[in-house]
Amino acid sequence: MKLPMHQVDAFTDDVFRGNPAAVVLLDTWLPDAVLQAIALENNLSETAYIVPAQDGEADFELRWFTPAVEVELCGHATLATAHVLFEQAANRHELRFSTRSGLLGVTRHGEVYTLDFPARSTERYDDLDWLRRGLGIEPVEAHASTRDVLAVFASVADVRAVTPDFRILAEAPARGIIATAPGTDGVDFVSRFFAPAFGVDEDPVTGSAHCVSTPFWSARLDKRELEARQLSARGGALRCTYLPELERVHIAGRAVSYLSGEITVP
């Protein structure tokens, strides 16, 4: 069986930058074992799969797989999926996806795509010892959501200086660890993201992590619209807006296609 697949670099203007995601277009769902095997074969931080929705509320059902597991929410692969679909239907400007995290929307304004995602609140987190050992440098403070731990540093240089021990971080009591700090030169905050327990040591650009970091920095900086940068080797740019009255975060970025073709599965 041959299936159409696209690879898109998300949260960037340039190929070889941002976060690459695979997008596989399906008519009906394949067995989960096959979906996981394709994701492992792709060996990207995420492979997204879509099928046409049947409920009338959404346009497509959307799922995301790392090389190791299915995840509940993924930003860059959602952006990549929207990019593929918008490229195929130039007159469309909005998409709705049914997912494990509820109904997610994506709108297009020119070459910019905006994700409508849930906001994640945090509480103070005091166990800094394993963060120090896992990140190689002790954060100034830490906060935890239901999914991720936010390790706050004093400067951009500190975030760049993080030297993760992935064996320690793989045992973290969270999906992933966000290392973050105030930004400079027009950037409000920066981050790096680690999720070795989910098969992704360091994710190049992580839209879903900004569901946590955007509300935090919005409160800390007293502003709703924020410019964010992820400081991975590939790098990525995101524009984030916190909507506390709706408990939502809008995450905007660009994307560029890298390849389109077919894969063959049994």
Residues involved in catalysis: 46
Taking a C-beta distance cutoff of 8 angstroms, is the pair 204, 233 a contact? yes
Q: Are strands 94-99 and 225-230 parallel, antiparallel or unpaired?
A: unpaired
Long-range Cβ pairs for the range 146-149 (8 Å, 24+): 146/120, 147/72, 147/120, 147/174, 147/175, 147/176, 147/212, 148/120, 148/174, 148/175, 148/176, 148/177, 148/178, 148/209, 148/212, 149/125, 149/173, 149/174, 149/176, 149/177, 149/178
Rounded to the nearest angstrom, the gap between the alpha carbon of residue 215 and the centroid of all alpha carbons in its chain is 16
* Closest to 21 in 3D by CA, of 207, 174, 191, 147: 207
Closest by CA position to 98, among listed 58, 46, 149: 58
| The dihedral sign for the CA sequence 218, 221, 224, 228 | negative
Compute the distance between CA of residue 102 and CA of residue 105 in angstroms, rounded to an integer: 10
- Supply 200's token pair: 């992704």
Count of alpha carbons within 13 Å of 27, Cβ hemisphere only? 3
